[in-house]
Chains A and B, each alone.
Chain A
């Protein structure tokens, strides 16, 4: 299977608080997990990614964690700011005949000033 489930579909967070978005996948051969941010009317842009040989990766206020046993990975945004408001997509890269990214359905994150 190549599906990926993403939750929640919408998330509102007070400015300065943390936001967490979770994705679950079914392809046990998946080995690359990127996260994309899409601002209104713009193109998705890669913000962070993780490979299956590590469990966590951090870049300033953004972190991604991966649990390969449970087949889920999460995006964590700390000290949220208004410019974090956007739609976030998780994705995973399949393998063995399914070598392309499969995207989650997206999470609309709204930061409340």
Chain B
């Protein structure tokens, strides 16, 4: 996955449950990002982190939470407050905040059952 790994590839969640998506990178990138993609739609920014122990809300942060305790890791928790969590979730990383582009992970497809 070009140095950025998302797991699991597929995830099923029961309504009312929290679930955590993993994103790990070994590219020594400072910045990491989470995007949500619905069928036939574009990329919507959930959260991003440009440095360890700091992160900012994106355009659709409600119902999600993140942490950035290590440079290599940026897990995303989809909480029960997220009313429509079924989607394709993409993690990305970049050096220099994106001035050299982003590297994306292969994604996690989350389905609520």
Contacts and interface: CB of A to CB of B under 8 A. Distances in A.
Interface stretch (B13-21, B62-70, B78-86, B94-102): B94-102
B42 A42 contact: no
Given A93-B98, A99-B98, A43 B48 contact: no
Interface residues of A, number: 19
Interface in A54-90: 89
Given A89-B42, A103-B43, A104-B42, A43 B90 contact: yes
B25 interface: no
Contacts of A32: 98-101
A103 B94 CA distance: 15
B42 A44 contact: no
28 contacts: A32-B98, A32-B99, A32-B100, A32-B101, A34-B101, A41-B107, A42-B107, A43-B1, A43-B90, A43-B104, A43-B107, A44-B102, A44-B104, A46-B102, A89-B42, A93-B98, A99-B50, A99-B97, A100-B31, A100-B48, A100-B50, A100-B97, A100-B98, A101-B94, A103-B43, A104-B42, A106-B43, A108-B40
Size range of the chain B interface in the assembly: 20 to 34
Contacts of A99: 50, 97-99
B99 A103 contact: no
B33 interface: yes
B33 A100 contact: yes
B43 A93 contact: no
Given A32-B99, A100-B97, 12 more contacts: A43-B1, A43-B104, A43-B106, A44-B43, A44-B90, A44-B102, A45-B104, A46-B103, A99-B97, A99-B98, A101-B98, A103-B42
